[in-house]
Amino acid sequence: MYFRQFAIALLVLWVLWIFFWPSPALAQATKYYPPPLSYSHAQLTGKDFSGQTLRSAEFANANLQYTDFSQAEAQGAIFSGSLMTEANLHGGDFTNAMLDLTDFTGSDFSDAVFLSALFLGSTFADVDITGADFTDAILDGAQVKQLCAIATGVNSKTGVATRDSLYCP
């Protein structure tokens, strides 16, 4: 009787040890892939994120007016529902970023990369998109028409013309 209880207890401890013992592989993974930065709902007006690595960072519903993201590495970052009026995104990499429902009025998109980025429901009044690459970005028809009217230049990193990346007629 006691042997059976002891054996079960030993089995439970062994299972717990296997599943909850710190793994060297996990330590290596967190060393190279830190958890994403979260700035959701933050007031970040005028902050300088230029040249920073912001992969998978979260800026959802944040106030990012006048914020500088020039030359930032923001692949996979989330900006959904944010206010980004007069923001500087010049030369940044926003590949696979979620930029939907965001107000970009007066922002600088020049020479930025937006490969496969999501822009549905965003506002683009008075933006500079010279040399921006929107290849495979998700935009609605009205946004494409608006951006095609002002599209010029070639992206210095990808070599793709802005008009071509938007599939302008």
Judged by average pLDDT, the poorest of 16-30, 46-60, 135-149 is 16-30
Residue 29 has a pLDDT of 47
* CB-count exposure of residue 109 (10 Å: 0-12, 13-18, 19+): buried
- Domain ranges in the chain are 56-169
pLDDT 10s digits, 106-148: 999 999 999 999 999 999 999 999 999 999 999 999 999 999 9
For the entire predicted model, the pTM comes to 0.79
Cα(23)–Cα(21) distance, integer angstroms:
6
Percentage, residues of the chain above pLDDT 70:
80
Q: Would you state the structure tokens that stand for residue 34, as one six-digit string?
A: 């830190």
2-13: b or e for each residue (b if 16 or more CB lie within 10 Å)? Answer: eeeeeeeeeeee
56-169 under CATH 2.160.20.80, yes or no? yes
The closest alpha carbon to 74, from 114, 124, 34, belongs to 114
Task: Between 19 and 115, name the one with better pLDDT.
Answer: 115
Q: What is the mean pLDDT of residues 78-88?
A: 97
At residue 37, the pLDDT reads 83
